[in-house]
Amino acid sequence: MISAILAEALQARRSDFNARFRLAAQRYPHLDGEEVLRFIAGAVDPLVRAVHACSPEAVVDVVNVAYDCSLQLVGQRLSVDSGRFAAVPATWREVLPRAAAHVAEQPARVIPALTNAAHQLISSDSADTTRWISALADVAPQCASPDELLIAGQVLAWQCGLAHYREGVLKALQSLSVALACAVLKITPDQYETTLQRLQEDRWFDPAHHRREPLRIVRRTGAFRGFGGSFLRPPLLKSSDNGWLVQSADDYWYLVADAFGATLHRSSAEEWRAQPANEVGHVGTRLAHDGKMLDLPGAGPITSSAASVGAIACTFAHSHEIVLVALK
């Protein structure tokens, strides 16, 4: 069942919505009318009710945008409530109603942007989408504008694993109010200046953890393709600008990592061959740097190591995993 508010909005433009469905069915062969209705009842209706509570005049525009998005999500099989794609309808149910005022102001911008953000997160092996949804739902009511909402979403996506957002987020953070930035970063106002400075200077700094031992493991990433990872064979590494190049069988990636996550982006054999090897000292399972040693047991001897952006990345003979060790 849907609310009377949504039912009235749909009925008022029933012929138009039916025509949109027919057009969408030509584009998406798997579009299912029953699934569209289920998604509208479970994910669109909570948003429409929240918008009606704060901006009744915006309901028509929100329904128009939400209906078209619903057709796309169902047609692309992104509307289900199980598996990795469950984060998409969860974002609609848990985040969008909490951001109803901003959705009402700019529905054609906010709804697709947050939906796409959820999709980006579920497409990354290292991202914690559940944490992102919860955190953004918490701070959404504190945002003063759609701009602040979307920037907060980007910052939280970075903190929840999308390491390649780092540079853009650090610039965007400064446009948030101090109160909102502190809420997103979970710090107090007296920590604001110091925290922003340390985030800029040290990509392995996490405000939630203050451990600073040298040669400490800060991230593990990568997995066998048969288990949902990217690597067909145990990978090898070379250092590169602001990250690492990775080879596995005939596949090549560029690895971006920091304290909050690690993401792999497609690279090429040409880029791999053009980059000279830059091995860090290691013997067996022991990594050596600047007179210090760190034992990395459990995955066989280290097969390659490379230093970049304040960390050493290591691969192993009997593992598809990459281990990142911070140097300070």
What are the tens digits of pLDDT across the range 33-62? 999 999 999 999 999 999 999 999 999 999
Q: Has residue 208 been placed in a domain? A: no
pLDDT, position 198: 94
Write the CB contacts of 296 (distance below 8 Å, at least 6 apart in sequence).
217, 285, 286, 287, 302, 314, 316, 323, 325
Last residue in a domain, options 148, 176, 201: 201
Give bridge partners of residue 246 from the DSSP assignment. 237, 253
pLDDT class for 211, splitting at 50, 70, 90? low
Q: Are residues 140 and 242 in the same domain?
A: no
Per-residue pLDDT at 4? 96
The answer to whether residues 256 and 227 belong to one domain is yes
- 156 plus 243 within the same structural domain: no
Residue located via tokens 């289920």: 38
Six-digit token pair at 78? 């992104």
Query: CB-based contacts of 13: which residues, under 8 Å, 6+ apart?
Result: 64
Which whole number is the average pLDDT over 92-109?
A: 98
User: Mean of the pLDDT values across residues 200-229?
Assistant: 85
Shared-domain flag, residues 119 and 236: no
Q: Are residues 254 and 298 in the same domain?
A: yes
Q: Are residues 246 and 174 in the same domain?
A: no
- Indicate the length of the chain as a whole number: 328
Find the mean pLDDT for residues 112-128. 93
* 31 and 136, same domain (yes or no): yes
| Average pLDDT for 263-292 | 86
Does residue 121 fall inside a structural domain?
Answer: yes
- 290 vs 77, higher pLDDT: 77
Mean pLDDT of 182-191: 96
Same-domain status, 197 and 235: no
The pair of structure tokens assigned to 235 is 């990978």
Asked whether residue 80 falls in the same domain as residue 180, the answer is yes
What's the pLDDT score for residue 212? 65
Identify whether residues 175 and 280 lie together within a single domain: no
Residue 278's pLDDT is what?
75
Q: Which of 201, 236, 257 is the last residue of a domain?
A: 201
Tokens of 171: 């610039």
Distance CA 42, CA 92 (A): 9
E strands, 249-301, in order: 251-258, 261-266, 282-283, 286-289, 292-295
Got the DSSP string for 109-147? HHHHHHHHHHHHHHT-TT--HHHHHHHHHHHGGG-SSHH
Question: Into how many domains does the chain fold?
Answer: 2
User: For 97, how many CA atoms within 13 A lie in the half-sphere containing its CB?
Assistant: 17
For 241: left if phi > 0, alpha if psi spans -120 to 50, otherwise beta; the answer is beta
Average pLDDT for residues 97-113, to the nearest whole number?
Answer: 98
Domain membership flag for residue 94: yes
Please indicate, yes or no, if residue 211 is contained in any of the structural domains. Answer: no
In angstroms, rounded to a whole number, what is the distance separating the alpha carbons of residues 220 and 203? Answer: 15
Tokens encoding 327: 């140097």
The mean per-residue pLDDT over the stretch 252-281 comes to 92
Kindly report the number of other CB atoms within 10 A of residue 121's CB atom: 26
Give CA–CA dist 290/325, Å, rounded. 13
> Last residue of a domain, which of 167, 201, 235?
201
Identify the domain containing residue 72 by its residue range.
Answer: 4-201
Residue 95 in this model has a pLDDT that exceeds 80: yes
Confirm whether 209 is domain-assigned. Answer: no
Q: What is the pTM of this model?
A: 0.91
Name beta bridge partners: 308: 311
The most confident of 152-156, 206-210, 324-328, by mean pLDDT: 152-156
Residues 223 and 194 in one domain: no
For residue range 307-324, what is the model confidence (pLDDT) as tens digits? 999 999 999 999 999 999
Residues 182 and 193: beta-carbon distance below 8 Å:
no
* Residue 203 to residue 68: CA distance in whole angstroms: 40
Residue 18 belongs to some domain of the structure:
yes
Whether 69 and 164 share a structural domain: yes
